[in-house]
Amino acid sequence: MIVETSLDIIVPHDPRELLLGLFHAMVEAANPARLLPSRLPDPPRGRTLVIGAGKAAAAMAKTVEEQWAAALSGLVVTRYGHGLPCERVEVVEAGHPFPDAVGADAAARMLDLVRGLSAGDLVLALFSGGGSALLTLPAPGLPITDLQEVNRQLLLSGATIGDINCVRKHLSAIAGGRLGAACYPASVITFLISDVPGDDPAVIASGPTVADPTTFAHARAVADHHRLRLPETVRRHLEEAADETPKPGDPRLANGETVMLATPGEALEAAAARARAAGLEPIVLGADLQGESRRLATTHAELIRTTPRRRGTGSPPAVLLSGGETTVTVGGEGRGGRNTEYLLALGLALETAGAAQGVFALAADTDGIDGTEDNAGAFLSPDSLRRATAAGLDPRSFLDANDSHGFFRKLDDLLVTGPTRTNVNDFRAALLS
């Protein structure tokens, strides 16, 4: 059956529930309500303005409201369904992963809000994963429909998040440090929850308040490498390169400070600690793994095959943990995210290698949404492929069609958590029981 959960789960010894407890440990490690209060500054002598975007933006804004005794106002943008009620900060829900007019309107209003601030004012900028699409404000002369098309192609191309955001920044009037420059001369403290490999502030949410080291030339190279079919307005904009993003050393960003609240590495270590407490031996493969989902699955299947099983030896069972953000080059017409695609490819590779026995796996996005569907991810059990075959399903055909969501839905093995209102990227765990 589809597993629906709350975030206060107690970890038992059932393999699925155990893996789920590790997932929730990673999510809780990036909870804004736990991370933000001790990092907030004293109120300034002037105004305090809150701005932000991302899947954690509403939770971050609500935490600031609850902790801030002085006057406060502002605007943040989050994904549809990820909002929270706030009294002093406006929360707008907009489109993700594809930008929409609601997000563009909110971005334009945010840019207007920060203009005219003084040196005595303070901007609290709250950004997390998802902010790039949510805070899309087309550069002059670019229609939102053209940006939507470029985003669609980028997300289907297999490009890394760094490359995707490089292009986004150079089609934007607000990303890549432009919002931070508009805040000058106010002080800007940018609070970040990272969802990107390497935790680069310039990549998280496309770095609206920090300097951008990439250039129009970089953006053109990404588009050429991935053979994007650019709309004419976009192609011309990238070629003319008339208005570069603010670069390191730009005086308009001199009053900025960046605070990293949570990273995938820290959150994955919290999952590893929970594993140890549950009597497992975690093997952490890294929190910044990238590449095609199905290729990473093949690599992990081989690692699982060669890792000694410890049943009956007196040693704790091993659990392989990893994070990062994989990609899917979409060629089929199916529905599925990168985590379910990873799991389906892992199941096939384990079956081929004769290594599926005793392997329980979970792959899920810590924001609660894998791709564009309503599930966070899915479970893989030792008998998943056998159950599929018995039901008349061909796992390989589902993978070829990029329909991993459909595959696990038919097995009732999807994981549905609802929005977590944070995001430290993907979580993958394979328990070798």
Cα 200 off chain centre by: 13
| Residues 6+ positions from 12 with CB-CB distance below 8 Å | 18, 21
Supply the pLDDT for residue 189.
98
Supply the pLDDT for residue 7.
39
279 and 352 co-located in one domain? yes
221 and 300 co-located in one domain? no
47 and 185 co-located in one domain? yes
25 and 70 co-located in one domain? no
Boundary of a domain, candidates 241, 262, 283: 262
| Upstream peptide bond of 282 is cis (omega within 30 degrees of 0) | no
Helix (H) or strand (E) holding 426: strand 426-432
Supply the pLDDT for residue 158.
83
Can you tell me the distance from the alpha carbon of 370 to that of 332, in angstroms, rounded to the nearest whole number? Answer: 17
DSSP conformation letters of 270-334: HHHHHHHHTT-EEEE--S-B-SBHHHHHHHHHHHHHHSPP-TTSSSPPEEEEEEE--B----SS-
254 and 291 co-located in one domain? no
DSSP conformation letters of 114-157: HTT--TT-EEEEEEETTHHHHT--BPTT--HHHHHHHHHHHHHH
At 46, the amino acid letter reads: G
Can you tell me the distance from the alpha carbon of 377 to that of 400, in angstroms, rounded to the nearest whole number? Answer: 19
Can you tell me the distance from the alpha carbon of 81 to that of 417, in angstroms, rounded to the nearest whole number? Answer: 13
15 and 44 co-located in one domain? no
7 and 150 co-located in one domain? no
Residue count of the chain, please give it: 433
287 and 253 co-located in one domain? no
**Residue 27, phi then psi, degrees to nearest 5:** -65, -45
398 and 300 co-located in one domain? yes
> Count of alpha carbons within 13 Å of 377, Cβ hemisphere only?
24
| Upstream peptide bond of 97 is cis (omega within 30 degrees of 0) | yes
217 and 304 co-located in one domain? no
Boundary of a domain, candidates 236, 262, 288: 262
Q: Determine the structural domain holding residue 276 and report its residue range.
A: 3-29+265-432
Supply the pLDDT for residue 12.
41
Boundary of a domain, candidates 262, 280, 311: 262
Quick check: 76 and 149 in contact, CB under 8 A?
no
55 and 83 co-located in one domain? yes
The tokens for 351 are 């079956």
CATH for 112: 3.40.50.10180
Q: 3-state SS of 208-275? A: CCCCCCCCHHHHHHHHHHCCCCCCHHHHHHHHHCCCCCCCCCCHHHCCEEEEEEECHHHHHHHHHHHH
CATH for 296: 3.40.1480.10
355 and 374 co-located in one domain? yes
pLDDT along the chain (433 residues), means of 10: 43 82 98 98 97 98 97 98 97 95 98 97 97 97 96 89 96 98 98 95 98 98 97 97 94 98 98 97 96 96 91 82 91 85 98 96 96 92 97 96 96 97 97 93
Total structural domains within the chain? 2
Quick check: 329 and 292 in contact, CB under 8 A?
yes
| Residues 6+ positions from 335 with CB-CB distance below 8 Å | 371, 372, 373, 403, 405, 406
